[in-house]
Amino acid sequence: LRKCGTLYAKFRTLNNMENFTITTRTTTKEYAKVMLIGLYKKPGFIIATIVGLYLLTTVLLDYLKIINYYSDTPYFELFCGLFVLLGPTLITFIAVGQFNSNPSCQHNIKYTFSDNGMAVEGKTFKGEFLWAHIIKQKEISNFIILYHSKKMGNFIDKTKLNKEQLQFIKPKVGQD
């Protein structure tokens, strides 16, 4: 019974935690790393990578005359294999280009967390999100990404948060 009281007290403390603020700036290198890891975690990209590796391997083995798999020069298989293998890298290059062209991403961003939600403040913008409007979270590398739409989210540097702050944020996502 005493253990349950301790757990309840800790949970209660986390829910009534004081507002806290962190300031962070995501670098281009960090953003690219998170994008690549995030893409290569998706089952569709994993399957595409395997298919790309298979196509390139069969083309190489055929070229080296180890197997006789193709009757003609396999240009189509070569280009398809390269395309599906390098697809996530191409997507990352496009995303990094958009990231670099957005002036809001080039400066420090201040995040303030409270029981009600999260306030975000940059050099040229301010916004507030209620926890109910943060629809999902994803942890990749040193970041927790808090999504407020299917494709838009805020990159929060987990190294700037202590354990209690991280435990405060995680259960709040999607809460009314």
Q: What is the pLDDT of residues 135-176, one digit of tens each?
A: 999 999 899 999 999 888 899 999 999 999 999 999 998 776
- Give the pLDDT of residue 2: 34
pLDDT at 74 over 50: yes
Residue 67 to residues 64, 75, 148, 172, Cα–Cα distance (Å) = 8, 17, 51, 56
CB 134 within 8 A of CB 173: yes
The pLDDT of residue 173: 87
The reported pTM is 0.73
Tens-place pLDDT, residues 96-120: 999 999 888 889 999 999 999 999 9
Between CA 44 and CA 166, with CA 158 as vertex, the angle to 5 degrees is: 100
Given CA atoms 36, 41, 43, 49 in this order, what sign does their dihedral have? positive
pLDDT of the residue at 176: 64
- pLDDT, position 101: 92
User: What are the backbone angles phi and psi of residue 122, rounded to the nearest 5°?
Assistant: -120, -170
Could you tell me which residues are beta bridge partners of residue 153?
A: 147
Cβ contact 72:95 at 8 Å: no
Query: Quick check: helix, strand or coil at residue 162?
Result: coil
When the pLDDT of each residue in the chain is averaged and rounded to a whole number, the result is: 87
Query: Which one-letter DSSP state was computed for residue 68?
Result: -
Q: How many Cα atoms within 13 Å fall on the side-chain side of residue 139?
A: 8
Q: What is the pLDDT of residues 4-53, one digit of tens each?
A: 333 333 333 345 578 999 999 999 999 999 999 989 889 999 999 999 99
Burial degree of 155 (CB within 10 A; 0-12, 13-18, 19+): buried
